[in-house]
Amino acid sequence: MLRSWSILLVVAGVWPLSIGAAPTYGNKDNSTCRKTKVAILGAGVAGITAAQALSNQSVTDFLIVEYNGDIGGRMVHTTFGEDADGNPYTVELGANWVQGLGTEGGPENPIWTFAKEYNISNTYSDYSSILTYNETGYFNYTSLLTDFDDSWAEFEQAAGTILTENLQDRSMRAGLYQADWRPSSLDAAAQAVEWWMWDWETSYSPDESSFVFGITGYNLTFYQYSEENNLVIDQRGFNTWLKGVAGTFLQPNDTRLLLNTIVSGIDYTKHDVKVTMDDGSCIEADYAICTFSLGVLQKDAVTFSPALPEWKETSIATFQMGTYTKLFLQFNETFWDPDTQFFLYASPTRRGYYPVWQSLSTEGFHPGSNIIFATVVGRESYRVEAQSDEETLAELMEVLREMFPDVDVPEPIAFMYPRWTTEPWSYGSYSNWPVGTTLEMHQNLRANVQHVYFAGEHTSAEYFGFLHGAWFEGQEAAMRIAGMLTKNCENVGSGCGEYLKYKVLHGTTEEAEYNAINGIGVSPFYVADSGKE
């Protein structure tokens, strides 16, 4: 039996702050709005972190408004398939890894700190545990992975030169080309390897991605912390840690957390903000922290009044919202190698066509679960999201039968995938930097518009696309506001009050501008593993 799946259902895990009743606030006839100092829009990592940072500075008069019935944002799970006892597995639909953990004595990724504190079960993703396939079955082309790695050592330095000498950005494709990675478009194996090394992380192709900021982002996470990625398999859900953090400053049934509440409009002035919900109720606040995803901002899902200024609109339009789609299948047996984590498929005709398969049936994950999931990104995501489950499953089964020609591949007993591009509270998965942008253009994405502040993975110059990016940016926005409200600025790195913004954008960025004020407080010139510049 197939479990058909068209909308995301959020399944509550262990929830220390029990939830349930519809929020009671304001007045449905909106004759009066509920009043607060800070309205935090969104209860994902940035929103909850912002609330904690405010609490830390004794600003406790805030309201957190969340579309869904649970906190976590794009760190969301559901149940899938079942084990031998008939109990379902919990799988992560969105954020799934802690990326870049930290080294002994070096800085530690805050998400890793929380994962340890809240005992989040996770397993090291061993990228060398990989078998390679094409349309004729198993075909060993792992030497291409080594070739790509060799060119990485070269192109990351070239990107560093562009940054320090304030040269013009170019595409990741041009960076690869200059480092002698020049696969023919007919070389399916090389295309699959390139997808695995680049698109799988950024959700965009090298042709679409910024070279200098692609490498800067990679450096800051994987050289500053560590090159390890650990996949979360916790059956309580990855968001357990964020609920734990929320529980440190919210009471059970805290009336400051408004779940199942949909924002439709944000009216702002130089002095305050009015947030209107789709049921007509409203909140009046001194400040708002809008943690909506770049996808939500790009879709104009919320009406800003007055309309956002041109410098802000341009920055919203410039950055890319990627989509990352995991397609889960459970079988009655594990017909793939149970000791391998990854299976790479090179489609002979189509780059990015179900290239990466990840086994959860492997030791360290859920052995014996017979669950494997494929991943697609970008245009392939839009394509599979637009077609029926049956059409997508038929494609997946055809690929599996090509990969394993000697196996009688059975029909799956469960199948499911999320449709991120149409989720009205996310419209996509995470952001990426396009070719030829600048730090100043990104600073405009970060910057406040009067009393509306913005935070999320997309506002992080250092860690865009990552959970830890959302954490640092939620903290930053809240500390800037707390500094104004309490007249005590504790945000030592980049100050309090308004963000720097650029009403006129010039060509490129001088090296000295790579500083905390523009969102880069840490140098990307980290030498791997030493933690030193």
Ligand X SMILES: *[C@@H]1O[C@H](CO)[C@@H](O)[C@H](O)[C@H]1NC(C)=O
Residues forming contacts to ligand X in the complex (CB under 6 A) are 18, 20-21, 29-30, 49, 52-53, 56, 118-119, 134, 136, 139-140, 142-143, 156-157, 159-160, 163, 188, 212, 215-216, 219, 223, 252-253, 276, 280, 332-333, 348, 410-411, 475, 524-527
Find all residues with CB under 8 Å of 394, minimum gap 6, and list them: none
Q: What is the chain's length?
A: 533
Please confirm whether the linkage preceding 88 is cis (ω < 30° from 0): no
Check: CB of residue 197 under 8 Å from CB of residue 147: no
Query: β-strand 342-346 against 130-134: which pairing, if any?
Result: parallel
Question: Of 93 and 470, which has the nearer Cβ to ligand X?
Answer: 470
Question: Of 324 and 471, which has the nearer Cβ to ligand X?
Answer: 471
Cα distance from N-terminal residue to C-terminal residue, the chain? 55
Nearest residue to ligand X by CB is 160
Provide, rounded to whole angstroms, the least separation between the CB of residue 388 and ligand X. 22
Provide, rounded to whole angstroms, the least separation between the CB of residue 153 and ligand X. 8
- Among 192, 523, 520, residue whose Cα is nearest residue 344: 192
Question: Of 67 and 241, which has the nearer Cβ to ligand X?
Answer: 241
Provide, rounded to whole angstroms, the least separation between the CB of residue 196 and ligand X. 15
Find all residues with CB under 8 Å of 143, minimum gap 6, and list them: none
Question: Residue 497's CB: how many other CB atoms inside 10 A?
Answer: 11
Question: Of 27 and 387, which has the nearer Cβ to ligand X?
Answer: 27
Question: Of 227 and 286, which has the nearer Cβ to ligand X?
Answer: 227
Provide, rounded to whole angstroms, the least separation between the CB of residue 133 and ligand X. 9
Question: Of 52 and 226, which has the nearer Cβ to ligand X?
Answer: 52
Provide, rounded to whole angstroms, the least separation between the CB of residue 378 and ligand X. 22
Provide, rounded to whole angstroms, the least separation between the CB of residue 245 and ligand X. 8
Annotated binding site for FAD: 263
Classify the C-alpha dihedral 322-508-520-271 as positive or negative: negative
Find all residues with CB under 8 Å of 112, minimum gap 6, and list them: 98, 100, 101, 102, 225, 230
Give, in degrees to the nearest 5, the angle at Cα 112 between 94 and 478.
80
